[in-house]
């Protein structure tokens, strides 16, 4: 099929920056321009001839600009099929010009929503005419070229300049696909806004920003990140971030947000914390976190919620690690940390804002609320005769925060400001506890006076029995087993303290 030459172009855009070169190119090629409203005025001020849509339709812009282009003489010119004689006859009968090019963008709905505007202003930024023009032109891509975003201005300018304002069918189809991507994303944003408080039971997500990964979880798998990583992080140094890096960064950010009022440091491997601590300085917090597992820390993902100074950097630099995330870095700290060229250094610019999470499963998707409940002293219900003392309560809360972000089944052993060990991802809670005890002892920790956290209830008293023998005297768990009393009775018989939170923190 030969290229289609543009004779008539309908142009109606909200964003006019970088539009002038394209308009002049069309004019110089003899293309007749049609426009309306602010775009028409913009074209006229450039000294270019333009026919108003109002003169074409015989109707002015009405209802405060809500209705401008919704007319058969406009949509007939876009939807008319050149290969059908009947369409051509009707267009001739009703004096409808044939449009080969439609350039339209949309009112900035998402930007207006993000600005905190009032409801009525947001509603007025729901584009009707523009979205209709885009869909019509994209549907009839066999005859019409549709450009639907200012991000395409440079691309279409170069294309039309190279081909003397003509396009191929494949080129028009590609722009049509992009147009439906834009229109569907726009509609999804509007739906998500209007569905707040309505909660229609449907799943809709649209994320246009994307970044191809080198590969997915493994080299034989393709991987793409959909989202705006740069909005949340600024990469100061290091190699390209991988799929697995992103997964670990996500886990690290979720964990560190549990400690908003303390100086905290965490080391993660495969999304689980192998070290976590709080202290008076980043250096001290790092050293305590590193103590918990000096082996797994190798090649880990590190995160802190405070500025990294030179003193901390000197210690951290002794470890081989993949990534360090922090809210800021001192310049002399960066000099030290940048000694390894592949080491990824990230400044976290904002906290997590998402309230939902989802993943593909079987032939569909499951969605749930993020686990936004952080256990605190007000949630604790003492179930034993002995109440935990102040230090024990602090340790129990600390352990529970880490437990929440560790793969189930999990047991976490800790003191008031340091992870001592954890049993991770075990099919048996007893196995998770035994793993944690063995690991703590391997790295030289004495568990006398330590506390234990579990992500779910104990169906039998075996875990508290094993914990007691290891030196643990206080336990935190959600409770909820029909046999809770068995564990409580064992604790009472051996002067252990146990608290229930009433909140389970499974993580699969």
Out of 59-63, 150-154, 272-276, 442-446, which region has the weakest mean confidence (pLDDT)? Answer: 59-63
Grouping H, G, I as helix, E, B as strand and the rest as coil, residue 103 is strand
Judge whether 142 and 81 are in contact, CB under 8 Å.
yes
Residue 447: CA atoms inside 13 Å, Cβ hemisphere, count?
Answer: 28
Instruction: Reply yes or no on whether the pLDDT at 230 is more than 90.
Output: yes
The pLDDT, as a whole number, for residue 66 is: 78
Determine the average pLDDT of the residues in 49-77. Answer: 83
Q: Are 326 and 308 in contact (CB under 8 A)?
A: yes
Annotation marks residue 376 as catalytic: no
Contact 478, 456 (CB under 8 A): yes
Q: For residue 133, how far is the Cα from the chain centroid?
A: 31
Which has the minimum average pLDDT: 26-35, 59-68, 361-370, 395-404?
Answer: 59-68
Confidence of residue 94 (pLDDT cuts 50, 70, 90): confident
Which tokens belong to 421? 């060990």
In the block, tokens 């979720």 appear at: 254
The residue to which tokens 């039998």 are assigned:
460
Residue 374 has pLDDT above 90, yes or no: yes
For the packed helices 169-194 and 129-139, what is the interaxial angle rounded to 10 degrees? 150
Average pLDDT over residues 501-508: 94
Res 91: pLDDT: 87
**Tokens 């560790």 belong to residue:** 406
pLDDT (tens digit per residue) in 311-357: 999 999 999 999 999 999 999 999 999 999 999 999 999 998 888 99
Structure tokens at 423: 């049993």
**Whether pLDDT at 2 is above 80:** no
Cα distance between residue 6 and residue 330, in whole Å: 57
Over residues 135-149, mean pLDDT:
95
What is the C-alpha to C-alpha distance for residues 94 and 454, in angstroms, rounded to an integer? 76
Q: What's the token pair of residue 288? A: 């305590």
Residue 499 token pair:
């608290």
Token look-up 């008076």 returns: 280
Of all residues in the chain, what percent are helix, strand and coil, respectively (each to 5)?
A: 40, 20, 40
* Percent of the chain predicted with pLDDT > 70: 100
Helix (H, G, I), strand (E, B) or coil at 79: helix
Tokens 């989202």 correspond to 227
What's residue 65's pLDDT?
74
Q: What is the pLDDT of residues 456-483, one digit of tens each?
A: 999 999 999 999 999 999 999 999 999 9
pLDDT digits (tens, 9 = 90+) for 80-93: 998 889 988 898 99
**DSSP-assigned letter for residue 308:** B
Instruction: Clarify whether 163 is annotated catalytic.
Output: no
209-218, long-range: CB < 8 A, 24+ apart? 213/242, 213/243, 213/246, 214/240, 214/242, 214/243, 215/242, 215/243, 216/243, 217/243, 217/244, 217/247
Contact 313, 337 (CB under 8 A): yes
Tell me what the pLDDT averaged over the chain comes to. 94
Reported as type and span, the H/E element at residue 499 is: strand 497-500
88, 163, 185, 270: which one is catalytic?
A: 270
Tens of pLDDT, residue by residue over 275-311, are: 999 999 999 999 999 999 999 999 999 999 999 999 9
CA distances from 439 to 268, 294, 415 (A): 16, 11, 15
Q: Stretch 32-58: mean pLDDT, rounded? A: 91
Beta strands in 241-298 (DSSP E): 263-269, 272-279
Q: HEC states along 290-309?
A: HHCCCCCCCCEEEEECCCEC
Give the distance, in angstroms, between the CA of residue 219 and the centroid of all CA atoms in the same chain: 23
Of all helices (H) and strands (E), which one includes residue 313? helix 310-316
Q: Which of 82, 138, 99 is nearest to 6 (CA)?
A: 99
Place of tokens 């209705």: 67
What does residue 61 show for φ and ψ, rounded to 5 degrees? -65, 125
1, pLDDT greater than 80: no
The active-site residue, picked from 73, 139, 185, 494, is 139
Give the C-alpha separation, 494 to 384, whole Å. Answer: 10
pLDDT (0 to 100) of residue 376: 94
Q: How far apart are CA 146 and CA 318, in angstroms?
A: 56
**Which of the four pLDDT bands, split at 50, 70 and 90, describes residue 486?**
very high
Q: What percent of the chain has pLDDT over 90?
A: 85
Burial of 469 (0-12, 13-18, 19+ CB in 10 A): exposed
A 10 A CB-CB count for 436 gives 27
Stretch 221-238: mean pLDDT, rounded?
95
What would the mean pLDDT of 202-212 be, rounded to a whole number? 90
């Amino acid at each position: 099929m030969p290229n289609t030459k543009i004779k008539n172009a309908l142009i109606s855009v909200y964003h006019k920056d970088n539009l002038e070169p394209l308009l002049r190119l069309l004019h110089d090629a003899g293309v007749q321009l049609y426009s309306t409203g602010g775009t028409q005025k913009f074209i006229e001020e450039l000294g270019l001839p333009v026919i108003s849509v109002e003169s074409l339709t015989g109707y002015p812009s009405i209802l405060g600009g809500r209705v401008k282009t919704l007319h058969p003489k406009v949509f007939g010119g876009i939807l008319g099929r050149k290969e059908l004689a009947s369409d051509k006859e009707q267009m001739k009968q009703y004096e409808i010009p044939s449009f080969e090019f439609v350039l339209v963008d949309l009112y900035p709905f998402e930007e207006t929503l993000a600005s905190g505007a009032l409801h009525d202003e947001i509603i007025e930024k729901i584009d009707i005419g523009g979205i209709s023009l885009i869909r019509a032109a994209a549907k009839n891509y066999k005859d019409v070229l549709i450009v639907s975003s200012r991000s395409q201005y440079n691309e279409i300018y170069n294309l039309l300049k190279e081909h003397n304002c003509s396009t191929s069918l494949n080129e028009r189809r590609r722009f049509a696909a992009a147009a439906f991507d834009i229109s569907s994303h726009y509609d999804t944003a509007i739906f998500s806004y209007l569905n707040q408080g309505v909660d229609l039971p449907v799943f809709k997500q649209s994320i246009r920003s994307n970044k191809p990964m080198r590969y997915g979880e493994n080299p034989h798998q393709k991987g793409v990140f959909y989202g705006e990583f740069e909005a949340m992080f600024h990469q100061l140094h290091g190699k390209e971030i991988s799929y697995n890096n992103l997964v670990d960064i996500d886990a690290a950010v979720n964990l560190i947000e549990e400690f908003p009022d303390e100086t905290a440091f965490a080391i993660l491997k495969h999304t689980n914390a192998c070290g976590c601590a709080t202290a008076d300085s980043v250096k001290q917090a790092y050293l305590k976190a590193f103590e918990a597992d000096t082996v797994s820390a190798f090649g880990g993902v590190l995160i802190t919620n405070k500025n990294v100074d030179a003193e901390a950097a000197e210690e951290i630099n002794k470890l081989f690690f993949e990534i360090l995330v922090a809210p800021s870095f001192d310049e002399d700290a960066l000099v030290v940390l940048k000694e390894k060229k592949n080491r990824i250094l990230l400044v976290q610019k904002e906290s997590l804002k998402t309230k939902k999470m989802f993943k593909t499963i079987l032939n569909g998707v499951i969605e749930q609320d993020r686990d936004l409940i952080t256990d605190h002293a007000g949630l604790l219900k003492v179930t034993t005769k002995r109440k935990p003392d102040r230090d024990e309560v602090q340790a129990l809360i600390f352990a529970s925060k880490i437990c929440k972000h560790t793969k189930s089944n999990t047991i976490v052993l800790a003191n008031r400001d340091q992870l001592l060990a954890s049993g991770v991802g075990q099919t048996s809670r007893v196995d998770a506890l035994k793993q944690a005890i063995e690991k703590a002892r391997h790295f030289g920790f004495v568990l006398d006076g330590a506390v234990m956290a579990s992500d779910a209830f104990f169906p039998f008293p075996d875990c508290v029995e094993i914990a007691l023998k290891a030196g643990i005297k206080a336990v935190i768990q959600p409770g909820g087993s029909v046999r809770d009393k068995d564990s409580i009775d064992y604790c009472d018989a051996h002067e252990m303290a146990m608290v229930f939170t009433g909140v389970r923190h499974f993580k699969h």
